Chain A
Amino acid sequence: MSESGFFIVLIAMVGGAIRVSTPFMFVALGETLTEKSGRINLGLEGNLVLGAMVAYAGSYQTGSPWLGVLFAGLSGLVLGAMHGWICKLPKVNDIAVGIAFMSFGTGLAFFFGKPYIQPTAPRLEAIPLGGWSSNPSIAQALQVNPLFFVGIALAVFMWWALANTRWGLIVRMTGDSAASARAMGVSIDLVRLMATAAGGFLAGVGGAFLSLYYPGSWNEGLSSGQGLMAVALVIFARWDPIRCVWAALLFGAAGAIGPALQSIGISQGYYFFNAAPYILTLFIMIASARSKSAARDVPGELSLAK
């Protein structure tokens, strides 16, 4: 590979990391919040796909992509709240409910999304941060969507709030020791319901990014399991919002390898490189399952940990 080819791939990977990471980031942050409260919502893939559809439809109907984002969040909120409500019934397993919700969310999206596959909806505008450079590939890589910054700000906020607010402490307490939370008069079901709903909201917003920015249209093959991988990512990030951002960037960069190599003419093993994020997920799961510090950080009430 020539010097410039290497540079192009690198730039493309940075750009890809920024572009592809955003939905990972939102879903992972949502899942972190949910899991911090002691519950797992595996159904966020459903929230993501439904969010993508609702955002696209909302943007098409109202003409404002940001309203679309809001609607996407709300649809995720509803799904999350339903998950949270069902899980508080006795003897319900959150993982099984999550899998059901994954299918439910995508099914709903496909059902209501049929009429929106053809039309073109207004998309989210990116902020051109690469204007200083005359290099078109740099300029293109640094077209950054505002949601990316929202995600980072959110991660910092969550990191701060989990340590410095009453709500943050209550969420962590509920996730780590339900008995102590109950002894202090905290309603565990309510905390988890709200955490799952809020997590669902974020996953919905992540979906909006898919349909309104990158790839930027609504179709049934839009998500390639990002919602599921984000759950794995949370384990990798050991339930820390800041580490979630880094993990999302890493996944994004891995996802950009295939297209980047293709852009400099290396198409051999294209599908293999496209599978990079999935292979990465697999290795990360193996590595983090063996990691001893992960065992220390896992919220004690999680069904994973029991």
Chain B
Amino acid sequence: MNAAAAITASRPLQRGPALETVGMTKAFGAFTALDDVSIDVRAGSFHALLGENGAGKSTLVKCIMGFYNATRGSVLLDGRESTIRSPRDARDLGIGMVYQHFTLVPCLTAAENLVISRADAPAVFDWKKEKPKLEEFMDGMPFRVPLNGQVSSLSAGEKQKLEILKLLYLEQRFMILDEPTSVLTPGEADEVLGLLGEMARRGEVTVLMISHKFREVKAFCDSFSVLRRGRLTGTGDAQAASVAEMSRMMIGDTEVRERAVRAARNDSRPVLDLAGLVAEDEEGRRVVDAVNLKVGAGEIVGIAGVSGNGQSALVEVLSGQRGLADGGIFINGKPFEPKRRDFDRFKVFGLPEEPLKNATVPRMSVAENIAFRSYDKPPIASLGWWLSPGPMRRKAEELIARYRVKTTSPDSPIEALSGGNVQRAVLARELSGEVDVLIVANPCFGLDFASVAEIRAQIMEQRNRGAAVLLVSEDLDEILELSDRVAVMSGGSIAYVAPIGETDRNTIGGYMGGQHMAGH
């Protein structure tokens, strides 16, 4: 800690401060995103802020950080009222935040990132003097990150650690972490949170962590607050409260989502066969490295993995968005090329991640987007090229009603729809016919509770009807709920495959971190 003190001797703050919000309210026009929220984060505590997507968690922290000016309410820091009008004010008060997306500059080294973030960064750097100081600072820290490598070459875990180190380097001892573990392996997550927890217990920092992982909250936090629809619905001791209590505060009285019903399989012939798939990124690195996997009829194979281990690239290969450097895809023993003709012939359908970006043309209408798989076939097309808008619209209206897509009209642009409704429109397009192979990636990301249940049920229904389903997800719970078999992708290859009954969360987590590489 000495080095940090030497660097910013002018700021005496060496302990994590207490922070309280009083009656925090933020309205955007007629919509109240945050309604009279008062939370109390004691000095040296590890406080969890829970809530579903859209519950107001990020609005609250953005008010604390000065990105938004609250409509009403105030922030008390160590009991004193503090005016925070901009992120700069927050920084000067020692409040820092680690965002979900990294704010490190990829082309700079770790050392450069740290030094330039300082408010008093010198005009000319004397690296001979700065480097030893940085080394000394690192020595006093619970975890280390290589100082001289470019940030773009660091792993997600190292970047996350560096973000936290940056806050400590800047003496920002009230830390807000926004879902800090979403990019980490379970092992890395436990390490980082454990070390932060120890620092908090020693009073060196105060942590406010946005999360929706109850396991982490129970394991590391000492207190929690829950938001739902912009209101504070509960607060308390994280160790005393049960997960059931917390989740009730989070989702309200609506009954807990039912699991999709899984029918017994009696057909086990393999349908989709990925044989030695290799794909490269723009710089020639192998992002998909010799992936071999078979998916049977009526089977869901879930691919788990930490974000950035080649899962997105694999889905891009299967959907024809990325070229295949080596290997082959076979469906029912016949070679499959990810082109429109083969998608049709083999009845391959897909729900890619971020459907607005990957599965729709945002500015075209809902009806047109729904017709993407069928516009060149009767009844919409005659002779294969003459399109009639009438049948297209009728078909869209029928599907909009059947899949309960909320849109003002079939003619409004699909980008005007909410995330859940875009996903439903894509589901309508992809699942309304006969499906032999279904490729799904992060289908429920960012969706509310009700949509999640519905979409998972739809996927399960396709499986029960005999489709071979490849499910790629970063949400381990989703994998565990839906899959018949689990595969783990790590460093571009499949590190582990096991039937769902013969594995568990810890084993999968271990392979996600790449610990067992040698074993298989």
Residues of A bordering B, CB below 8 Å: 163-167, 169-170, 172-173, 175-177, 179-181, 183-185, 292-293, 295-296, 299-300
Contacts and interface: CB of A to CB of B under 8 A. Distances in A.
Nearest to B104: A180
Contacts of A293: 283
Contacts of A183: 87, 99, 103
**Could you say which of B124, B282, B284 has the most chain A C-beta atoms within 10 Å of its C-beta?**
B124
28 contacts: A164-B124, A164-B125, A164-B127, A165-B124, A166-B121, A166-B124, A166-B125, A167-B123, A169-B108, A169-B116, A172-B105, A173-B105, A173-B108, A173-B116, A176-B107, A177-B104, A177-B106, A179-B103, A180-B103, A180-B104, A183-B87, A183-B99, A183-B103, A185-B87, A292-B282, A295-B283, A296-B283, A299-B107
Interface of B: 87-88, 99, 101-108, 112, 115-117, 121-125, 127, 152, 282-284
Nearest to A300: B106
9 smallest beta-carbon distances between A and B, as pairs: A176-B107, A169-B116, A180-B103, A173-B105, A292-B284, A292-B283, A183-B103, A295-B282, A177-B105
A176 B116 CA distance: 14
A187 to B, nearest CB: 12
Nearest to B107: A176
**Could you say which of B107, B115, B117, B283 has the most chain A C-beta atoms within 10 Å of its C-beta?**
B107
Nearest to A293: B283
Given A164-B124, A164-B125, A166-B123, A176 B101 contact: no
A179 B102 CA distance: 9
A176 B107 CA distance: 7
Contacts of A295: 282-283
B147 to A, nearest CB: 14
A165 B104 CA distance: 18
Contacts of A179: 101, 103
A5 to B, nearest CB: 44
Contact of A166 (B107, B122, B127): B122
Nearest to B122: A166
A172 B107 contact: yes
A164 B283 CA distance: 28
Contacts of A299: 107
A63 B255 CA distance: 89
A297 B411 CA distance: 44
A171 to B, nearest CB: 11
Contacts of B103: 177, 179-180, 183-184
Given A165-B124, A169-B115, A172-B108, 5 more contacts: A164-B125, A164-B127, A172-B105, A173-B116, A295-B283
Contacts of B99: 183
A300 B105 CA distance: 10
A167 to B, nearest CB: 7
A96 to B, nearest CB: 21
A227 to B, nearest CB: 26
Contacts of A163: 112
A292 B87 CA distance: 38
B106 A169 contact: no
B197 to A, nearest CB: 26
A283 to B, nearest CB: 21
B102 to A, nearest CB: 8
Contact of B105 (A164, A165, A180): A180
Nearest to A176: B107
B117 A184 contact: yes
Contacts of B112: 163, 169
A229 to B, nearest CB: 25
Contacts of A184: 103, 116-117
A113 to B, nearest CB: 40
A23 B152 CA distance: 34
Contacts of A185: 87-88
Contacts of B106: 176-177, 300
B123 A165 contact: yes
Contact of B125 (A165, A172, A175): A165
A172 B125 CA distance: 15
Contacts of A176: 105-108
Contacts of B87: 183, 185
A166 B118 CA distance: 10
Nearest to A173: B105
Contacts of A173: 105, 108, 116
A177 B152 CA distance: 12
Contacts of B123: 165-167
A176 B125 CA distance: 20
A172 B488 CA distance: 37
Nearest to B285: A292
A176 B101 CA distance: 15
Contacts of A175: 107
Contacts of B282: 292, 295
Nearest to A178: B105
Contacts of B104: 177, 180
Contacts of A177: 103-107
A247 B160 CA distance: 39
Contacts of A292: 282-284
B378 to A, nearest CB: 40
A277 to B, nearest CB: 29
Contacts of A166: 116, 121-125
Nearest to A174: B105
Nearest to B102: A180
Contacts of B107: 172, 175-177, 299-300
